[in-house]
Amino acid sequence: MAREPVLSVLGMEKLLKRNGARRVSDGAARALREELEHHADALATHAVRLAAHAKRRTVQEEDVRLAAE
């Protein structure tokens, strides 16, 4: 079962345009959203595991930054 997206297609379009795209197709914005959500899910899962390992229930900034390394 697919998860409901968290990131907006409009946000993806803005990101692509901010990085030089003159025009962005809906498909490109949706593809970027899918890829970013996949990476964000993996990053969040790792950050949650780091917090749990530290015997905390609160995920902190340091957990996210460590997970991203």
Q: Two tokens at 16?
A: 């692509």
- Number of Cβ within 10 Å of residue 19's Cβ equals 7
Q: What tens digit of pLDDT does each residue of 2-36 get?
A: 689 999 999 999 999 999 999 999 999 999 999 99
- pTM, two decimals, is 0.86
- Domain 31-69's class? mainly alpha
Give CA–CA dist 12/63, Å, rounded: 25
* Helix ranges (DSSP H) in 1-69: 9-18, 26-53, 61-68
Contacts (Cβ under 8 Å, ≥6 apart) of 12: 24, 28, 29, 30, 32, 33, 36
Kindly list the domain boundaries of the chain, sorted by start residue.
31-69
